Amino acid sequence: MNKWVQGLIRPDVLDRQAYVVADPGDAIRLNQMENPYGWDAEFWAECMQAIQRCEVNRYPDASGAQLIQAIRQHDRLADTWGVMLGNGSDEIIQTLIQAACDGTRPVMAPTPTFVMFQIIAQQCRVPFVGVELDANWQLDRPGFIQAMQQHNPALVFLAQPNNPTGTLYHEADLRAIIEACPGLVVIDEAYGPFSPRNHQAWLDEYPNLVLMRTFSKLGLAGLRCGYLTGPAEWIEQINKVRLPYNLGVLNQQVAHFALTQGAELMAEQARRLIASREALIAAFRKRGWQAYDSDANFILLEVDNPSEVYADLVTQGILIKDLSRAHPSLARCLRVSIGTPDENQQLLHALDRALA
Ligand SMILES: Cc1ncc(COP(=O)(O)O)c(C=O)c1O
């Protein structure tokens, strides 16, 4: 390696692997919890008209005011809550950590969970403390509270529903953890559109709570658009750390169009995915496979040889997620995103062959 690179780049960065996503080619993509339904040509044509009004020679609206207004209306957010836009939730996680963590107080989360909480914390040189979920993928309430007392976290991330387990934690455990938390709790509702629970009313109850949401799972993963909402005082401070112009003018315009003209379309697609999820879980269980309940747009499945099954599916043209090396408790686990009914059928056939 060039000695300049060797001498200048942080050792922990030199040791890291880049975040690589394999080229899916023509494979059926059931590995990233995307919405498989696109937009039809007519709806796209309407969107194009809205995009034509964008001035790409100008910087975007740094405050994202028009999009924030649409989000406020769509989610019925109270005037007393602020909204901050992010280039996907990933960027918001980074902004939160930069705003709240000085490197001494850690980030905490129940594990296994969304890997970016830990990856981004480490990248920001902030310690990460994970507390294991129990055998039913539920919170270990006393264990988590005791760990918070010991480690004094600045931030606690609770993905609800959780990725990769698909679980909603028991409400009483969640509340107890928020009440006992010495720092800011972020409920990550990325999979909220597929879940019966919404924590919005909790914002009025807890002064140390904010909610993070994204358009990615609703059908706009390519846009990279998420947002943080909660008491205005929190958002005002966290927003200071956000990079100006973090959301391009086209992203803002398409997200605005989707929310104002396509909300019912996206909600209907989410309902179809929920129905497909339940059908797929039933089909898995009918075959005697261990599929966990899910409140998200994916299913966690336990099999004897997950890496072999994963590789077999790749040869059959289907990409899913092999979690067997992601966390000790996931050693037997695969995660499959819900696709169209046709894709789900192909997945079932491919799994039948792989597990025969
Ligand atoms: C729990 C959770 N939060 C956030 C995200 C990422 O969302 P975004 O695409 O907005 O960065 C994911 C992606 O898989 C996720 O599982």
> Domains of the chain (ranges plus CATH)?
9-38+264-355 (3.90.1150.10), 54-261 (3.40.640.10)
Distance CA 192, CA 126 (A): 28
In this structure, the strands spanning 226-231 and 81-86 are antiparallel
5 CA to middle of ligand 1, Å?
Answer: 32
- C-beta separation of 337 from 30 below 8 A: yes
Q: How far is the CA of 11 from the centre of ligand 1 (A)?
A: 28
- Residues touching ligand 1 (Cβ under 6 Å) are 33, 88-90, 114, 159, 163, 188, 190, 214, 216, 221, 226
pTM (two decimals): 0.96
Span from the CA of 89 to the centroid of ligand 1 (angstroms): 6
What b/e string do you get for 257-271 counting C-beta neighbours within 10 Å, with b at 16 or more?
Answer: bbbeebeebbeebbe
Alpha helices, H only, the chain: 3-8, 11-14, 41-52, 65-75, 88-100, 116-123, 141-151, 171-180, 232-239, 249-261, 263-286, 306-315, 341-355
Distance 281 CA to ligand 1 centre (A): 22
Q: For every one of its 356 residues, what pLDDT tens digit does the chain have, with 9 covering 90 and above?
A: 899 999 999 999 999 988 888 788 999 999 999 999 989 999 999 999 999 989 999 999 999 999 999 999 999 999 999 999 999 999 999 999 999 999 899 999 999 999 999 999 999 999 999 999 999 999 999 999 999 999 999 999 999 999 999 999 999 999 999 999 999 999 999 999 999 999 999 999 999 999 999 999 999 999 999 999 999 999 999 999 999 999 999 999 999 999 999 999 999 999 999 999 999 999 999 999 999 999 999 999 999 999 999 999 999 999 999 999 999 999 999 999 999 999 999 999 999 999 98
Distance between Cα 212 and ligand 1 center (Å): 10
Sign of the C-alpha dihedral computed for residues 48, 54, 59 and 60 taken in this order: negative
Give DSSP secondary structure letters for 281-314.
HHHHHHTT-EE---SSSEEEEE-S-HHHHHHHHH
* Nearest ligand 1 atom, CA 221: 9
- Note the Cα 272 to chain centre separation in Å: 20
Query: Pocket of ligand 1, candidates 29, 31, 90: which has the most ligand atoms within 8 Å of its Cβ, to mutate?
Result: 90
- The token pair at 1 is 């390696």
